[in-house]
Structure 1
Amino acid sequence: MKLATLNDNTRDGRLILVSRDGSRYVEVADIAPTMQDALDRWNEVEGALKARSAELESSSIPSHPVEISKLHSPLPRAYEWIDGSAYINHIVLVRKARGAEPPETLETDPLIYQGGSGTFLAPTQDIPLVDFNWGLDFEAEIAVILGDTPQGVTPDNALDYVRLIVLVNDITLRNLIPPELAKGFGFFNSKPSSAFSPFALTPDELGDAWKNGRVHLPLRTTYNGELFGDPEAGPEMHFGFKELIAHIAKTRPFTAGTILGSGTVSNEDRSRGSSCLAEKRMIEKIDTGEFHTPFMNAGDTVEIEMLDKNGHNLFGTISQKVVKV
């Protein structure tokens, strides 16, 4: 199934089902009024949602055209937004960029931080620029939305709790990170509201691209109208979602609607480009001794999307413009 949330000027929006080609939708308020309600009652409503989705695909019920600009984040707010950093190439490059060494447990223990989840940006909402000197950057990622997840799940059964998959622009203020981390207490001001893809997919929609807790497709980022990167999301994800879920559930359970990110998708093969400006800047520094690419400024645009092997846009496109506030 492909699900989305209409921005109807209420805090949590209105849940809809979207056709596989992303062009049409149907209302499902009689089944579940919001995405969070559906997640809370997933075992109860999944069958009815699947039946309505089949009716949509067969065109046996009336539908409406999808307008991406009228969609909110699939979850306009969430109980928790937790982000990992599962791509080792990214960790190494961005640590070099701020003069830090990778942790000794780089390959054995996942990096995780907990971000703000009370407000998310809509997939076509402007990115506010308060101060250029804060170092505004995009980060293209994949995330899973969990159902109720008990403490102590293992990698063997962790994927049983994945309900939906989305794309993320995990917006970061790079120049605020070093002084924050120097306090020894983690990210906060450096992590403003993130944006998520228009559509959330159940794992079965990805077919054989979803395997071993990883999405085996390229994640495409376009920056100011030009391809910035299309790294493969699957092979170099050192910790898959099953390991990330087991890691976060080591000491506590998680409620339905928790979002867990992969971290910035990154490949060692430089020909695939990057999923954030910080990586490109570090490569420039390694090659030339200087940073050349600036961080984002007013008027810059970024688009993040994932195409299947037939060129179909699976999650819709995160399409944002930076606006000075």
Structure 2
Amino acid sequence: MRWATYVSPSDFTERVGLLNEGSLHGLRGNDSLIDILTSGTLAQAAEEAIADPFEVVPSGQASLRAPISRPPSIRDFMSFESHVVTSMRALGGDIHPGWYEAPVFYFTNPAATRGPHEEVPLAPGTSAFDYELEVAAVIGKRGSDLHPDQADDHIAGYTVLCDWSARDLQEREMTQSLGPAKGKDTATSLSGFLVTPDELEPFRRNKGFNLRMSAAVNGVAYSEGNLADIHWSFGEMLAYASRGTTLLPGDVIGSGTVGTGCILELARVHGSDRYPYLQAGDRVQLDIEKIGSIQVHMTQGPDVIPVCDRDKEFV
């Protein structure tokens, strides 16, 4: 199944829809996708959407939002080894041995979640804005202290995730052994559909899925990788994320960037002249085979409001 949150052309409210034969079958009522996941009635909702839809909207005419418009939390991991190696070297370091001992993640800003076509502003004060090509799993049922072998049962589906990153701000704040924070919280984009695990199961390989991942800027191919190259499985990520706490329906778990999946890596290997950081007016497209795409226009962000002398250099 493929689920979406879209703006109804009938009443201009956000509704949940099931993709069926090229059209979104909108659900009656005002339940969000999180509400449906929490109640455990996804299969029942699918039957209702087909049998008695509120409306039927051709997918090409649907105004899509992020499937989970306001996740309870977003944890973003760092699970592709090649990305970790190259990006750490670009920042003047090396991969930490602890990366091989347990998956690591940071929390980002749920309020900054954006849909697949919503404009993304540059972070205030940045001159090194970057995309990150990732896949995300969305939690479908509560779980604590999950075992890696059973944790996949808590995944409702997958979507494309872009972790937009201000590299200069990120590097500055992480020298203080905290963050990333302002370097990351301007926006997190999700693709338009939540794809249920059964649709991807035929492509399972290694710890991931044999699915091509790619990115382009202004129509020029930039990144290319494969989801099968992931080092930490989603089961392992969920087990670690749930340790001593509770994962909730709608929580988003990002994989981290695929190898070559950001400008930071590409510029280090091939040079910043060939791969400059993003600017207002750029168009970025991220695709993951069988899952979806993000296609956004970059806009100028707000000016910096200085809070200290150090901030004045960005004005």
**TM-score range, shorter-chain basis?**
0.7 to 0.9
1:29 CA drift (Å) = 2.5
Which residue number corresponds to residue 324 of structure 1? Answer: 300
Which residue number corresponds to residue 301 of structure 1? Answer: 283
Please, which of 153, 156, 159 is the counterpart of residue 166 of structure 1? Answer: 159
Which residue number corresponds to residue 2 of structure 1? Answer: 2
Which residue number corresponds to residue 43 of structure 2? Answer: 47
User: Secondary structure, in 3 states, of the residue corresponding to 1:204?
Assistant: helix
Residue 194 (1) aligns with residue 188 (2)? yes
CA distance in 2, matches of 1:104, 1:155: 21
Which residue number corresponds to residue 265 of structure 1? Answer: 258
1:303 CA drift (Å) = 0.8
CA distance in 1, matches of 2:226, 2:37: 29
Q: Is the contact made by 1:68 and 1:124 (CA closer than 8 Å) also made in structure 2?
A: no
Which residue number corresponds to residue 269 of structure 1? Answer: none
1:179 CA drift (Å) = 1.6
Which residue number corresponds to residue 154 of structure 1? Answer: 147
Unpaired runs of at least 5, structure 2: 302-315
Residues 63 and 230 of structure 1: is their aligned pair in 2 closer, same or farther, counting only changes over 3 Å? same
Which residue number corresponds to residue 206 of structure 1? Answer: 200
Residue 284 (1) aligns with residue 270 (2)? yes
Q: What value does the CA root-mean-square deviation take over the aligned residues?
A: 2.6
1:184 CA drift (Å) = 1.2
Higher mean Cα deviation, 132-141 or 154-163? 132-141
* TM norm structure 1: 0.84
Residue 122 (1) aligns with residue 115 (2)? yes
1:69 CA drift (Å) = 6.2
CA distance in 1, matches of 2:154, 2:99: 26
* TM norm structure 2: 0.87
Which residue number corresponds to residue 129 of structure 2? Answer: 136
Q: Is the contact made by 1:152 and 1:251 (CA closer than 8 Å) also made in structure 2?
A: yes
Which residue number corresponds to residue 174 of structure 2? Answer: 181
Equivalent pairs, count: 299
Residues 78 and 12 of structure 1: is their aligned pair in 2 closer, same or farther, counting only changes over 3 Å? farther
User: Secondary structure, in 3 states, of the residue corresponding to 2:100?
Assistant: coil
CA distance in 1, matches of 2:201, 2:148: 20
Q: Is the contact made by 1:35 and 1:74 (CA closer than 8 Å) also made in structure 2?
A: yes
Unpaired runs of at least 5, structure 1: 267-273, 309-313
1:228 CA drift (Å) = 1.7
Q: Percent identity, please.
A: 22
CA distance in 2, matches of 1:70, 1:148: 27
Which residue number corresponds to residue 270 of structure 1? Answer: none
Which residue number corresponds to residue 232 of structure 1? Answer: 226
- Give 4+ residue runs of structure 1 displaced > 6 Å after superposition: 9-12
1:66 CA drift (Å) = 1.8
1:25 CA drift (Å) = 0.8
Higher mean Cα deviation, 217-226 or 130-139? 130-139
Amino acid at match of 2:19: V
CA distance in 1, matches of 2:73, 2:172: 25
